[in-house]
A = this chain, B = another copy of it.
Amino acid sequence: MEIDSISGEGRMERKKRELRQKIINVAMKLFEQQGFSNTTMEQIAEEADVARKTLYNYFPVKEAIANEYVRGISTQMAEEALAKLQKLPDTRSRLLKALNNAYGWVELNPELTGIVLAYRFKTSYYSYDKNQDSKNEFQERGTYRIIAEIIRQGQQSGEIRSDVHFKWLVRYVDLLRGTIVWEWLQDTSSFELREEISRMVDIVLDGIRSDDKRSK
Q: Which residues of A line the B interface, CB within 8 A?
A: 37, 111, 114-115, 117-118, 121-122, 124-128, 151, 158-162, 164, 168-169, 171-172, 175-176, 179, 182, 186, 196, 199-200, 203-214, 216
Contact = CB atoms under 8 A, between A and B. Distances in A.
- Per assembly, the copies of the chain total 2
A87 to B, nearest CB: 20
A172 B196 CA distance: 13
Contact of A209 (B128, B206, B216): B206
A127 B171 CA distance: 23
A216 B216 contact: yes
Given A122-B122, A168-B196, A168-B199, A209 B176 contact: no
Most B CB contacts (10 A, CB to CB) among A127, A128, A158 go to A128
Nearest to A178: B125
A122 B124 CA distance: 11
Contacts of A37: 128
A172 B164 contact: no
Contact of A118 (B125, B199, B210): B125
A208 B204 contact: yes
A206 B203 CA distance: 8
Contacts of A117: 125
B213 A214 contact: no
